[in-house]
Structure formats: structure tokens, C-alpha cells
Amino acid sequence: MSTGFLIGDVTIPGRVLMAPMTGITDLPFRQLACRLGAAYVATEMVASAELARGRPDVMRRAAVGDGLPLTVIQLVGRDPAAMAQGARMAEAAGADIVDLNFGCPAKEVTGSASGSALMRTPDLAGRIMTAVVAATSRPVTVKMRLGWDDASRNAAELAARAEDLGVKAVTVHGRTRQQFYTGHADWDAIAAVKTAVGIPVIVNGDIITADQAREALQKSGADALMLGRGVYGRPWLAAHLERALRDGTVLTEPEAAERFDIVVDHMRASIAFYGPGLGLKMFRKHLGWYVEQAPWPAPADDRRAAKGRICRLDDPEAVVQALADLWHVPATQHLRNVAVEFSPQVAEAASI
């Protein structure tokens, strides 16, 4: 398998992509995943109307930074003008690709006629795509589902319309909106989308292992694949699957010491990005997954207890020490770094 493909004029340096995930793919996570070898990690879902108004938390979701091989900003909304303005702002911020969310199944998103609700209103989806393509010089992509429900699987038709309107790639999650995340992703169904268009198609849903990656690509005929929930607590997964697809190499999971370094570096980056109080709070979901995913020999109840105990800690040094004790790794250097970076004086200065 070749090691990359084109989306418009942008070379994607790999075929294993990471999906935009709200509350997950913030800038610290994206920088970490890319440092570990990921070729493509999209931003969190960014509400175009709130981005245009400059709402601080939404601006953070679209944040760009060093260490990213490319920047993909995903926009969500239902107003073509607001989506166009969001695309212009994304390009001005440095986006290489502007992605449109036609797939989020969350009720708070579909309730405002956005996300996967747009698959029920293809004419509105078309107006959004037309407005965004006209607003930016960057390639525009769309992430969608198979359809709203089993009675209206219209992904192939919407993808064909997207191509006609100038969209450069589509990602399809192999479920309908009404399935949410239940059952199994239907990779075979995505083959109809691939047949309907000439632009790249990316298969998404239930891909965690190298065998699943190969099967999803084979059944769908897709040009690439996108990881979602499988990266929880495993930001190195995209790089591992990329290597497996490229030459069959099966990379081992990080050992305790390496995993410890990754977790602490992620925590430090989160605190530096959000500030001392919010940074640790935002990191806790990742911390919980790191503890759950770690290959330390303990019963499930012990893992849950450790997760609950460590995720209640509100001091970075205490988190470092608790993880070191749990995984039996030395913590001296990390404790020294954290103590210096997040001392009360530093924290006070950061909040001014």
C-alpha cells in the first residue's frame, strides 16, 4: 500500500487518519498524536456561528500550533453564510483543509438541524457546501454517516452531489444517525459511496486493530481510513496501524516507562494550554483512558478503583506520583519538571 494520497492539492502523508472528536482532539492531543507519528488529526468540531462571534472556548477548539504535519479544521452548523465565514476564518488561521460535519449524531447538534440532520435536508447541505467551497481556497471535505436511518441511506447520493459542488473528499461512518454507536459499522455499505464518486473516500467506524483496518479498506474499497473512539488512551494508534498497513510490521504497545512519559507530557501540555485549573480538569478524561488501557496485570475492579482515585486528584504532582506508584516507574525528573512549571507562583502568573 502506498503511503499517502491527495485531497485536492494537499498531500496526506498516510492513510490512517484521526477523526475530529469534541473534547478529545484539542491542540495538546493533536500535537502529541502527531509527535507519535499520526499523519492527520482533525480539530474538535467547531461551531461556525460561535467561531464568527469569537467565543473563547470555540476559538480554542480551532487552535493551531507547531508540530502538526497539516491542519484540518472541522466546522458544524446549518447556516450557509455562517459556515462560509467560518471557512474564511479557518483558512486565515492556517487550515490546510476545511471539513464539514454532516455526521454528528448528538441530539444537541441534530436538534439544531446540524450534523447528521443535514442528511435529511440534502438541499440545505448542498447550499452549505456551495457557500463554503466558494469562500475558501483550501480543499473542502465532508464527514457524514450512511444516512439518517435505514429507510434513508443516502450517503452515495449526497457524496455525488458533494463532488459536483467541488468537495474534494468524503468520510463515511458506517452507521446511520439512528444507530448512534450501537451495533457494528457497515463497511460494505460504504462501497456504494466509493462507486458513486471519483474523489477520495475514507471509511470510519469500529476500526481498532490492523486486521480491522485491512478488512474495512477491503470491504469499502476506500482510499483511507479514519479512527475515532479507538484512540482513547492510545494516541499512538494511528502511527501503529499506518506501519502495519505499509509493511506488515506489528508495533508493540508502549511499555510502562514510555507510556508514563507520554501521559505526563500530555498532562503538562494540557495545563500549559488551558491554564492550571482548567488544564487538569480537561485532561482527566484522557487520564482515565490511559489508566484503563494500560497493560498492567490487575482485575477490572482494581483498574476502575485506580482510575477513580487518580482522576480525583487536583494537584499535578500528586497525579505524577500516583501514576508512578501504579506502574512502578521512577518519577523524580517528571516531579521536578511539574513542580517547576506549575508552582503556585507560576500558576498565579499564568492566570494574570
Let me know the angle formed at the C-alpha of 271 by 17 and 97, rounded to the nearest 5 degrees.
30
- The position carrying cell 479557518 is 90
Give CA separation, 171 vs 18, 87, 243, in Å.
11, 18, 21
Segments in 53-154 forming alpha helices (H): 56-61, 80-93, 107-110, 122-135
Q: Could you tell me the maximum CA-CA distance found in the chain, to the nearest angstrom?
A: 60
C-alpha span between 33 and 16 (Å, rounded): 12
Q: Is 108 exposed, middle or buried (0-12, 13-18, 19+ CB in 10 A)?
A: exposed
161: enclosing H helix or E strand: helix 155-164
How many C-alpha atoms does 49 have within 13 Å on its Cβ side?
A: 6
- DSSP string of 278-304? HHHHHHHHHHHHHHHHS-----HHHHH
The percent of the chain in helix, strand and coil, each rounded to the nearest 5, is 55, 15, 35
- The position carrying cell 462507486 is 195
3 state SS of 143: strand
3 state SS of 65: coil
Provide CB contacts within 8 A for 317, sequence distance 6+.
335, 338, 339, 342
Q: Which of 104, 128, 129, 160 is catalytic?
A: 104
Cell of 100: 464539514
Instruction: Look up 34 and say whether it is catalytic.
Output: no
3 state SS of 86: helix
- DSSP string of 256-268? HHHHHHHHHHHHH
Q: What is the CA radius of gyration of the chain?
A: 21
Q: Among all residues, which ones are annotated catalytic?
A: 104
